[in-house]
Structure 1
Amino acid sequence: MNHSNDFPLVNDVHSGLNATRVADIIAPRNVAGIGAAIAHAAEHNLAVAICGARHAMGGQQFGEAALLLDMRHMNRVLAFDDVNGLIEVEGGMQWPALIDYLHAAPRSTARRWSIRQKQTGADALTLGGCLSANVHGRGLRMAPFIADVEAFKLVDAQGTLHSCSRQRNPLLFNLAIGGYGLFGVIASVTLRLAPLRKMRRDVSVIGLDDLPAAFQERIDAGYVYGDFQFAIDPASSDFLQRGVFSCYLPVDDAAPIDASGKELSEQDWRGLLELAHTHKTDAFAQYAAHYLSTDGQVAWSDRLQQSIYPDGYHRAIDHKLGHCGSEMIGELYVPRERLCDFMRAAAADFRQHGVDLIYGTIRLIEADRESFLPWARQNYACVIFNLHTAHTAHGIEATNEAFRRLIDLAIARGGSYYLTYAAAASLHQVQACHPAFGEFLEWKRRLDPQQRFQSNWYRHYRDLWAAAGETPQALA
């Protein structure tokens, strides 16, 4: 085992608002190593938290005074069925390595395989972490990540390895996907793959009122991926009402891959992010001009889902702004017919309260009928907001208040929000949007009675329930 005894301080990559002093860090390299780490934690009466690439910003990956398992060394491909399109990888594998493997892997058939969907914004996330948050991508007709998971192997609080699928240990399958690491360590994941295709990017700049029909037209025409990245300047009439609409259509395999180098470089992204803080209309204009220049570009269906994440980009911005800050992400869901109404209400709220929006996008999601704690309880429009947050008590609370107001706007329209980001929601909001949460906590108590797996995220919600005198729903 690799571990140190200096009580390290860890933090998340994106927001930098989850500084946590852990008891120790262990980086297991196999299932036996996971079991040994859990036994070590039991011997020393330590809770266990589980992290991957540390992009999660809701406190799920760290626990104060807990033993932290860093899963990134468990990153091998274990099995590849290129006839049926299934691949088993260790839970610490990250998306770039998986995509590269599938491009290079020898094949016994002419068919080439790759991923169906991945989360956007950054590539360096582990598969175990993506399963634990039940992520989603830009699919126009896709359910969350659970739909892509064939099976996984999980090490529980006793160190026992369980094989979980829809047929085998189905309750644990449904609890652990979207279970934020509270039921065990994801040792490996078996993914359902999709045929690798070439796809053409079609880009236009349209108004929000035209977006619902435009999404439907693209779906009817066979487009697979798409999103709408909206204007961010509250001083403009375009604010949240106009955006770059990009969708991807499968094309003939003979179509040439675009090698013109039109994609934004890391330096380009850094420049755009700085403009989004200082000259918002210019940022949107440059972004729109770039994407329009790539209209008609052809790329592989997996490569087009990859993106550049400029690590530490906020340091240069902090220097210009004169204070330390970062972006906090929130994701809201509304029935698709209420999208335009929701966006107009959000724009009014942001203007009234001076909310500093840096980036935002709209996608679609299909309902999740499988996970125990589904965030996509119906077919929704998904709205992602990145809000600039000064690293002061006032700045952090202002962002939390903004997200609580957005959640209320979503609830009023029959919508919901994603639990993965900041734990800003009130107890009432959690109960309204995630009605199975109390029962989820009770299953946690039943399946992990020693409370071995903990995180700051879990402790927050456990204490929120306790403080309100709420008792989780009794289990049958």
Structure 2
Amino acid sequence: MKIKWLLLCLIIYVTAFYFSLHVYSRQSVTITAEDAGRLLPVRMKYFRGVHSTKEIQQWVKEAHETGETISIAGMQHSQGGHTLYPNGTLLNMTGYSKILKFNPQEKKITVQSGVTWADIQEKINSYGLSVKVMQSQNIFTVGGSLSVNVHGRDIRYGSLIDSVDSFRLLTPDGKIINVSRKENSELFPFVIGGYGLFGVILDVTLELADDELYQHRSAEMDYRDYENYFKEKVKQDDSVKMHLARISVASETFLKEMYVTDYVLADQQNIKENYTELKEEQMIALPKFMLGVSRYSDWGKDLLWKTQKEYFIKNDGKYETRNNVMRSDSEFMEYENPNRTEVLQEYFVPVDQFAEYINDLRAVLEKEELNLLNITIRYVGHDEDAVLSYAKNDMFALVMLINQGRSEQDIQATEKVLQKLIDVTLDHDGSFYLPYYSYPSDKQLKRAYPRIEEFFEKKREFDPEERFKNLFYERYGQ
């Protein structure tokens, strides 16, 4: 009898321990979480890694019952608290990463939202297919890219919303609906570029492109010649499929000298088979070192600019497939410093205002203190499919990499300078990108995004209990 009683107690203890461990493993508490900008450390209640649709749906239903808030994260390269909310639940989607369906004949692929662009490239490359629209780097998740409606080097396909066929959305009350331009179509332009505020994008069907072979065409020029060069040599030439430019932030040629690389359609039949293997990043140590030097001296910025320019000009005539052009993993940009960080800002300006805009930017920056490391320029064609569209005209996108301190004083100093740059951008009928730190004022946001109130009203209508929240929404939407 005593032995049976002991065995019963042991069974009860082991069972209780198992379930306690199981619950803990599914609800692991984390002290703080932060995004790539490292300016917004936030105490979160739960950090939940998810792997199945059933699991995600269960968490959302539980949050609906308990009143908890949910934020959604992929690689967390949005830098304005878009994946964070104090004392909330963070759904980490990176484990939700299966390729569900691939149809090479129809040039379509269906993937879970935690899949990275690198995963897709590895799946479709051998079939002679490529992604239509994505960032220049392939490390990001598809769900995160949809949430910010990315664009890249491609000049023919616009922003990501243009290549989305449909997606499934897990709504705030735990239901799953299909969304496309025909089904629940009113949600389509809100969720894409919706920063995770309408629910969880579960999986998405994307349209694919052919994996073409390109030949690099590089040139250096004065910034005043860039607009005409782009209009005549790039936009009007159908053989140019992708484009990238940089403008100098070196002291000797500050915002005056440029170099460009065009990706021109090459002879597909005779050469392509020699270049189709997916490349891995080879040069990391040298660019990482040179970027590091440029953080701390004008001499370093001059050296980095000269080296970058020579490297790209030297690659004139190089052959490269579309998949490999969009394959950089940006490892050389990794930066660890306890007191400083690097943030991105991205400003859009109409093509026909480029030179005047650069003059006005320079006039501000020559008077202000801002550790500007790089400006990359891309083109985004007019595209207002998303409610929070950033391309109200044919635009040049200037992506700025900025090194700054992490203290409150440093943040305020950076904000002061960047709000001046934003005013210059808006005065030139431009806009700015929303995935980055919330330096823009409310007034500037409304000027850049005239439909922002419509966006927030739709969010509150669709999610009246505000189940999905983040710091971006708290800053601008409440």
With normalisation by structure 1, the TM-score equals 0.90
- Counterpart CA distance in 2 for 1:308 and 1:275 is 21
Q: Could you say which residue in structure 2 is the equivalent of 1:293? A: 314
Aligned match for 2:240, one of 223, 230, 247? 223
SS of aligned partner of 2:401: strand
1:408 deviation in Å? 0.5
SS at match of 1:193: strand
Other-structure match for 1:303: 324
Residue in 2 that maps onto 1:70: 92
Equivalent residue number for residue 182 of structure 2: 167
Letter in 1 for 2:375: G
CA distance in 1 between counterparts of 2:87 and 2:26 reads: 14
1:429 to partner: Cα distance? 0.7
Aligned identity (percent) is: 24
Which residue in 2 is equivalent to 1:123?
Answer: 138
State the AA in 2 paired with 1:414. Answer: D
Note the aligned Cα RMSD (angstroms).
1.9
Q: Give the aligned partner of residue 130 of structure 2.
A: 114
Counterpart in 1 of 2:18?
none
Query: What's 1:473 paired with?
Result: none
Please say if 1:284 is aligned against 2:305: yes
Corresponding residue number in structure 1 for 2:7: none
> Which of 5, 14, 33 is matched with 1:10 structurally?
33
C-alpha separation in 1, matches of 2:174 and 2:467: 11
Gapped regions of structure 1 (runs ≥ 5): 464-476
> Which 4+ residue blocks in structure 1 deviate beyond 6 angstroms?
none
Give SS of 1:135's match: coil
Once the two structures are TM-superposed, the CA of residue 311 in structure 1 deviates from its matched residue by 7.0
Cα distance in 2 for residues equivalent to 1:389 and 1:308: 23
- Structure-1 separation of matches of 2:401 and 2:147: 22
Q: Which moved more, 1:2-11 or 1:49-58?
A: 2-11
Matched, 1:366 2:384: no
Where 1:445 maps in the other structure, the secondary structure is helix
For residue 289 of structure 2, the aligned residue among 271, 285, 303 is 271
The code of the aligned residue for 1:16 comes to R
TM-score (norm 2): 0.89
Contact persistence 1:257–1:298 (CA under 8 A): yes
SS at match of 2:397: strand
- Report the alpha carbon displacement of residue 264 of structure 1 after superposing the two structures with TM: 5.6
* Structure 2 residue corresponding to 1:328, chosen from 343, 352, 360: 343
Bigger helix share: 2
Question: Conserved in 2, the CA contact under 8 Å of 1:258 and 1:298?
Answer: no
| Maintained 8 Å contact 1:314/1:325 | no
Cα distance in 1, alignment partners of residues 255 and 406 from structure 2: 25
**Match of residue 40 from structure 1:** 62
Aligned equivalent of 1:383: 398
How far off its partner does 1:33 sit? 1.2
Contact 2:234 2:240 in 1 (8 A): yes
- The separation in 1 between residues aligned to 2:416 and 2:158, in whole angstroms, is 29
Query: Are positions 1:20 and 2:42 aligned together?
Result: yes
Larger Rg: 2
Q: What is the number of residues matched between the two proteins?
A: 446
Deviation at 1:333, TM superposition (A): 1.2
- Asked if structure 2 preserves the Cα contact closer than 8 Å seen for 1:372 and 1:440, the reply is yes
> Could you tell me how far 1:263 is from its partner in structure 2?
6.9
Query: Equivalents in 1 of 2:156, 2:130: separation in Å?
Result: 17
Distance 1:167 1:67, change over 3 A: same
Offset, 1:359: 0.8
1:43 corresponds to which letter in structure 2?
E
Distance in 2 (CA, whole Å) between partners of 1:241 and 1:140 is: 24
Of 85, 88, 93, the match for 2:110: 88
Match of 1:441 in 2: 456
**Using the alignment, how far apart are the partners of 2:380 and 2:369 within structure 1?**
29
Q: CA deviation at 1:72?
A: 0.6
Separation in structure 2 between the aligned mates of residue 395 and residue 138 of structure 1, nearest angstrom: 32
2:121 paired residue number:
99
| Alpha-carbon offset, residue 142 of structure 1 | 3.1
What corresponds to 1:399 in structure 2?
A: 414
- 2:335, 2:125 → 1: CA distance? 33
Aligned counterpart for 2:51 among listed residues 29, 35, 40: 29
Q: Which residue of 1 aligns with 2:214?
A: 199
Distance (Å, rounded) in 2 between the aligned partners of 1:311 and 1:34: 34
The whole-number CA distance in structure 1 between the counterparts of 2:181 and 2:266 is: 34
Shift of the 289–311 alpha-carbon distance from structure 1 to 2, 3 Å rule, reads: closer
Distance 1:172 1:364, change over 3 A: same
CA distance in 2, matches of 1:26, 1:58: 21
Specify which of 195, 205, 215 is matched with residue 190 of structure 1.
205
Counterpart Cα distance in 2 of 1:362 and 1:304: 16
The alpha-carbon distance between structure 1 residues 82 and 258, as it changes in their structure 2 partners (threshold 3 A), is: closer
- Corresponding residue of 2:260: 245
In 2, the alpha carbon distance for the partners of 1:264 and 1:231 equals: 25
TM-fit CA distance, 1:331 = 0.9
Q: Deviations over 1:368-400 (max 9, x none)?
A: 231122111221111111111111222211222
Deviations 1:126-178 (A, max 9, x none): 00010010000012233211001111111001111111111111111111000
Letter in 1 for 2:275: I
Q: Aligned partners of 1:424, 1:70: CA distance in 2, in Å?
A: 26
Alignment of 1:342-353 (within 5 A): 342-353=357-368
- Equivalent residues of 1:3, 1:24 under 8 A apart: no
Q: Give the Cα separation in 1 of the matches to 2:472 and 2:181.
A: 27
- 2:472 matched residue in structure 1: 457
Q: CA deviation at 1:308?
A: 3.0
Cα–Cα, structure 1 residues 313 and 369, in superposed 2: closer, same or farther, change >3 Å? closer
Report the Cα distance in structure 2 between the residues aligned to 1:208 and 1:266, rounded to whole angstroms: 29
